[in-house]
Structure 1
Amino acid sequence: MTKFFSVLICFLTLIGANAQTESQRAFRDALPDSRTNMSVALEDGQGNKSMLPIVILKGAEPGPTFTWLAGVHGSEYAPIIATQQLLDEIDPGQLKGTLVILPLLNDGAFYGREAYINPVDGVNLNNAFPGDANGSITQRIAHSVTENIIPVSDFFLDIHCGDAPEDLLPFVCYYVDENRPQQTGLAKRLSDGSGFEYSVACPFNIDYEEPAKYAFKQAAQDGKTALSIESGRLGLVEKEAVDLVKTGVYNMLDLMGMYAEGSGPHPELKLLADQIYIDSTVQGIFYSDLKAGDRVLEGQEVGYTTDAFGRRLETYHAPKAGTVLYMLATPPINVEDTVMCISTKTLKN
C-alpha cells in the first residue's frame, strides 16, 4: 500500500467507525484508473457537525500527488463550480499520479450563505490553520486538512475568489521562501505557466512555528509546493472566472507531466509583488469609483466612507502607486475591513 493511502486511512480511523469502515475499504480496493468519492463526518465538542467531501482520482500511471481545495469561504462560488466541472471532465485513465480534491471545504458557510465565517461557530476558516483537534468545528476542519491532507500532497493548490463584497483581479500567487528555493522556484514556474495574466509573488513573512492562518500558507510552511488561484468576484458565477480556474488547473497539471490538457502561459504575463493594504477604521457606507485591475498613483484618493447621514468619516489614499488586486466593492464597511489591496511592484520575467 502506498504512503498516500496509508496516511489517509490513518486519518479516517480518527473520525468515526462508520466512516472508517467504508472509507478504508474504498482506499484498500482503489486501483489505477479509478475514482473514489467519500464523505468524512466531523463533529466538535458542542455537537456541531460538518461533512467533508473528498474525491480521489488515481491515475493509470504512477506520479506525484496534486491536491486542490475549493470553498474555504462560503460565497466563493466560481472555484466551487469550476471544481465540479473538473471532476466531470478529468479522465483518470489519462492521468499520471493522484489527484486529491476537496470540492467544498466549508459546508457550514456555503449552505448558510455566509461570505467569511462559518455561522455554526463564528470562525473564519481562512484564518484557522493549522486548526485544533479539540476546537470548534471550523478549527477541526482546518486541523484535518493540516494533519491528513497536506502531508500526502506533493503540490497543494488553494482556490479562492473575491467574496460577495469584493471585486478582484484574477491572479495566481505563491510564497517566496528564501529558505526553500526549490519549492519557491517550482511554485513560481506553475504560477507563471498557469495561463493567468497576473502572477503574484508574496513574501513568506512568518516563522515556521507561527500559525499560518491560510491553507496554502500552511502547506508552504510545511515544505510543500503551494499556490493559490484567485478568480471570481462579488459572489457571482461568471463563466469567464470559472473557465480561468479550469485553465489554471489544467496548465499546472500539464507542467508537472500529469495531464496533457494545458493551453500554455498567458502571452502577456505580468509579474507583480509587494502588496500593501488599506484598512478601514470606521463603520459606515463606502464609496469608490475604482475597480480591481485599475492603476493608482501614490497619494491618489481611492475611496471614502460616510455615516448614514452622508457625512464623510474617512478618506482613503494610495500609499504607493500600483495595481489594485482586490477591493471592497459594496457599500457596507466595518472597522478593520480591507478597503483595498494594491500590488506596488512589477517584476521582470
Structure 2
Amino acid sequence: MRNGIKYAILLFAIMVGFICHPVSGQDLTSIQQGTRKDTLVRIDNNDAVALSIIKGKFDGPVFTIVAGIHGFEYPPIMAVQELLKKVDPDKLHGTLLVLPMANEAAFYERSVFVNPTDDKNLNRAFPGNATGSITERIAHWISQKVIPISDVFLDIHGGDASEDLLPFVCYYHRADKPDQVAQAHRLTEAANFEYNVIYPYHLSPDDMSEYAFKEAVQQGKTALSIEAGKLGNVQPEMVAMITSGVLNMLNKMDMYPYENDKRVNQKWLREQVYIKCPATGIFYSDFRSGDKIKKGQVLGYITNVFGKKLDEVRAPSSGIVLYKIGTPPANKGETLFCIGK
C-alpha cells in the first residue's frame, strides 16, 4: 500500500510540473504497471526536456537517471539510449525516471559545456531559477519536480570535448546523512568500476549546489555520478561500461535482474588536487588520464602563439590523473589536471 501511495504522489508531483509547463496530448495518469511513457516536459514556449517514465510491473523505489547535462558528453547519452532499449518494465521493481538528454540545445549545436541559447553551464546552475534563462529554468524544474520524488539520483557525465578523463564513479560524503552515504557507497561499489572517488561535502543549507547530483545531496537524497568517456567522442567500451554500471546498481537495489560482470579490483580515491593553468596559451603534455605521477614532476608546459615557453606545470602532490585538458588551448585559471589521491 505504501508503494502505491508513493507512486500516486510521484504522478501528482510530475503532473504539477506539467501543469506549470504543459505537455500537449500527454496524460500520465494513464501509465499502468509494467509500461513505459515517453513525453516532453515544456519548460517555456520554445524548449522542452525529454522524460521517460518506466513503471515496473512490481512495486519498488524511484531511481532517476540523467544524461546530457553537458550536450558534448556523448558516451553517457548513448549509454542511456542503450538502457532505454534494454529495460523491460515487466521485470522492473519500482520506477525509473530517465532524462535521456537534459540539455538538447547543447547536444544539437555541439556546444562545449554551455547551452548556446543563453551561454550558461547547466551543471553550474542548480538549484536554478523559475523565472531565469532557459538553463536556469531546466535546473529549477529538475530541482523542484524530479529530485524530490527520487529515492536515488544518478547523474551521468563524461569528458567533454577538451577533457581526457579516467572512468570512475563518485559520490559526496555528507557526514550528517550516514544512511544516504552508505547507500551511495554500496551502489558505487556495485557499479564495478576500477576507480571510485569520494568527494568531501561542505555546503551549508543555504549554499548554491551548482551541480545536479550535488543538489540531490543537498536535498538529502542518495546521489552519485558516473564519469566515463572523453574528448567529445563516442567510445563503445565507455558506453558499455556505463550501461553495465547502471544495471549493476539496479540489480544491487533488487530493482532489475542483471548478471554481474566479473568483479574488478577497485581503488578508492578520497582526496583530489586541482592544478590550475598558470597562463593563457598552448598546452603541451605527454601525460594521459590514468597515469601515475609524483610530487614535483613536470607534467607539461605552456607557450605563447610564437612558441615561447611561458610556464611549466608541476605536480603539487603524487597521485593518479583523473582528468586533464587533452587539447592544446589553455586559459589562465582553468583546471589543467585533477589528481586523485
Q: TM-score, normalised by structure 1?
A: 0.94
How much has 1:205 moved relative to structure 2? 2.1
Q: 1:314 corresponds to which letter in structure 2?
A: D
Match of 1:12 in 2: 18
Deviations 1:58-117 (A, max 9, x none): 000000000010001111100000101110111000000000000000011111111111
**Residue in 2 aligned with 1:339?**
336
Matched ranges for 1:282-293 at <5 A:
282-293=279-290
Structure 1 unmatched runs, 5+: 345-349
Determine if contact 2:115/2:121 at 8 Å carries over to the other structure: yes
Q: Is contact 1:194-1:265 (8 Å) kept?
A: no
CA distance in 2, matches of 1:168, 1:343: 12
Could you say which residue in structure 1 is the equivalent of 2:33?
Answer: 32
CA distance in 2, matches of 1:218, 1:271: 23
Does the 8 Å contact 2:71/2:107 carry over to 1? yes
Report deviation, 1:286: 0.5
Q: What is aligned with 1:151?
A: 148
Q: Does 1:107 align with 2:113?
A: no
Deviation at residue 304 of structure 1 after TM alignment: 1.2
Check conservation: 1:193, 1:264, Cα contact below 8 A.
no
- The answer (yes or no) to whether the contact 1:201–1:271 under 8 Å persists in 2 is yes
Query: Which structure 2 residues correspond to residues 223-302 of structure 1 after superposition, within 5 A?
Result: 223-263=220-260, 266-302=263-299
| Offset at residue 302 of structure 1 (A) | 1.1
1:183 aligns with 2:180: yes
For the 8 Å contact 1:69–1:101, the answer to whether it is kept is: yes
Q: Which amino acid aligns with 2:135?
A: T
What is the rounded CA distance, in whole Å, between the counterparts of 1:269 and 1:33 in structure 2?
35
Equivalent AA in structure 2 for residue 57 of structure 1: I
Identify the residue that residue 347 of structure 1 maps to in structure 2. Answer: none
Match runs of 1:38-49 below 5 Å: 38-43=39-44, 49=46
Distance 1:209 1:96 in 2: 35
Q: Distance in 2 between matches of 1:142 and 1:13?
A: 17
Amino acid at match of 1:311: K
1:122 — aligned with what? 119
Say whether residues 1:318 and 2:315 are aligned partners: yes
Contact 1:177/1:204 (8 A) holds in 2: yes
Give 3-state SS (helix, strand or coil) of 2:20's partner. coil
Show CA shifts across 1:270-305 (max 9, x none). Answer: 111100101114211111110000111011111111
> Once the two structures are superposed, what CA deviation does each residue of 1:294-348 show, in whole Å capped at 9, x if it has no partner?
111011111111100011112111111001100000001112221000012xxxx
1:200 aligns to 2:197 (yes or no): yes
Determine the C-alpha separation between the residues in 2 that align with 1:300 and 1:206: 33
Uncovered stretches (5+) of structure 2, i.e. residues with no partner: none
Structure-2 separation of matches of 1:306 and 1:106: 35
Match of 2:78 in 1: 81
Q: Give the drift of 1:31.
A: 0.5
Taking the aligned partners of 2:10 and 2:21, their CA distance within structure 1 comes to: 18
Q: Report the CA distance shift for 1:262/1:149 in structure 2 as closer, same or farther (over 3 A).
A: farther
**CA RMSD, aligned part only?**
1.2
Percent identity of equivalent pairs: 44
Question: Which of 125, 135, 139 does residue 138 from structure 1 map onto?
Answer: 135
Q: Letter of the 1:276 partner, please give it.
A: V
Q: What is the aligned length?
A: 335
Give the structure-2-normalised TM-score: 0.96
CA distance in structure 1 between the aligned counterparts of 2:278 and 2:13, rounded to whole angstroms: 46
Q: Deviations over 1:201-237 (max 9, x none)?
A: 0101211210100000000110110000001001111
Q: Which amino acid aligns with 1:5?
A: L
